[in-house]
Structure 1
């Protein structure tokens, strides 16, 4: 008896953790968060992390779970997996992968083949251990190497890629750097402290003026 598409199960998890360690996890969440922020006001851009993508109806064995994927033309609703035939057959246009120490070269090669075969427009791979950044862009129907990557601006995202001794830096179209939540919190704390110090200085100056018989408003 032939198995029908209704009987096929498309898993939403493979039982493996999202990341192999804290470094990979931090980069995944930082990249996803930055992309979320860029397109927060666009209801037709879907951003996901570690979500199973099934490009072919009827074959649950053909799948990948990109660390981060960005899909233009699809809404932001929650999904257990991205089944392309249920998404107007729109391929995720931009993919990010963060390589972990356990990822073999064969595994990464297979991912590149998959993304090339199923129509990804831009694919970015970062290895935080080696501080190695690579990218591919679809040209003449195939993913071709982007060279150089330093200073590259994603045509789809408007994100700028930089690489220095500290590692990868990503910048949104407005020039703001991608940061994780802790960095964002620390920035806000610093801004709050600076505001409080400025207020204290203003109050001391006002007190000195009053002591001299001058009203601050004057």
Structure 2
């Protein structure tokens, strides 16, 4: 996974009862919220932000989910200690969604034992030359056997390759793309696919979402631009109608007919 840009900070962990009787050490851990290391590229930074925004746009009237990206996920004592000691066995995914939680609660990392034992329902990894093997191979086992993630996607921007998997009886089965190259995500209630266009001034190929009807889920900026264009077109139609009415009135006057009668 591309690495975080946050300045390393620590916090005390609170623990749910499900984990307290199993691992007494957990409440006393100081958990870093970031490692201060940069992401792989500007594309990775923007793509993560784009995915987070799209999910919140897609579910704009819902608060029962959390979407995050490039943040630590803590799920076991061994893994948490490895992060604290600076030799992390696992940091976290590029993008993930957890459903059935309080989405209004601020979080700087996802701590499984503080979230009632909940793991992500969807994970999307954005590969790079240094993470490709882990994202395409090793994570299949981790996310299936340890996390139990219902759906896992990865996108390789260098090869323009998108893959998706659905967990069936504890094993990932590949998702089949439709004729458009999109993969249906039952968890996100949307298609996941690749779109070429401009985002934050950069024309690239981006992983995006489409709703059930095949409409592109728009960013807030795209929605504002669409509304601006709609208002502009409406103004143009009104102006054209006014000009037609004025031309008709002028013709009536030329014929000696008062258009106001």
1:143 maps to 2:180: no
Out of 81, 87, 91, the position equivalent to 2:109 is: 81
Structure 2 partner of 1:68: 95
Does 200-209 or 73-82 show the bigger shift? 200-209
TM-score between both structures, scaled by the size of structure 1: 0.82
Q: Distance in 1 between matches of 2:91 and 2:172?
A: 17
Q: Secondary structure at the match of 1:40?
A: coil
Q: Distance in 2 between matches of 1:191 and 1:180?
A: 16
Judged with a 3 Å threshold, the aligned counterparts in structure 2 of structure 1 residues 164 and 41 are, in CA distance, closer, same or farther, namely: closer
Out of 150, 165, 185, the position equivalent to 1:121 is: 150
Q: Secondary structure at the match of 1:30?
A: helix
Deviations 1:52-106 (A, max 9, x none): 1112257413543222111111111111111111111111110111223x43433
Q: Distance in 1 between matches of 2:215 and 2:116?
A: 33
Query: Does the 8 Å CA contact 1:51/1:66 hold for their aligned counterparts?
Result: yes
Query: Does the 8 Å CA contact 1:57/1:85 hold for their aligned counterparts?
Result: no
Query: Does the 8 Å CA contact 1:29/1:180 hold for their aligned counterparts?
Result: no
Q: Distance in 1 between matches of 2:52 and 2:109?
A: 16
Structure 2 partner of 1:50: 70
Structure 1 partner of 2:245: 206
Alpha-carbon deviation of 1:138?
Answer: 0.6
Alpha-carbon deviation of 1:131?
Answer: 1.3
Q: Distance in 1 between matches of 2:40 and 2:222?
A: 22
Structure 1 residue ranges, 4+ long, deviating more than 6 angstroms after superposition: none
Does 159-168 or 69-78 show the bigger shift? 159-168
**CA RMSD between the two structures:** 2.8
Alpha-carbon deviation of 1:182?
Answer: 5.1
Q: Distance in 1 between matches of 2:174 and 2:100?
A: 26
TM-score between both structures, scaled by the size of structure 2: 0.70
Out of 1, 7, 28, the position equivalent to 1:7 is: 28
Q: Distance in 2 between matches of 1:23 and 1:104?
A: 15
Structure 2 partner of 1:170: 209
Runs of 5+ unmatched residues, structure 2: 1-23, 83-88, 198-204, 253-257
**Structure whose CA Rg is larger:** 2
Query: Does the 8 Å CA contact 2:121/2:151 hold for their aligned counterparts?
Result: yes
Query: Does the 8 Å CA contact 2:58/2:217 hold for their aligned counterparts?
Result: no
Aligned length: 212
Q: Distance in 2 between matches of 1:210 and 1:92?
A: 66
Structure 2 partner of 1:33: 53
1:130 maps to 2:156: no
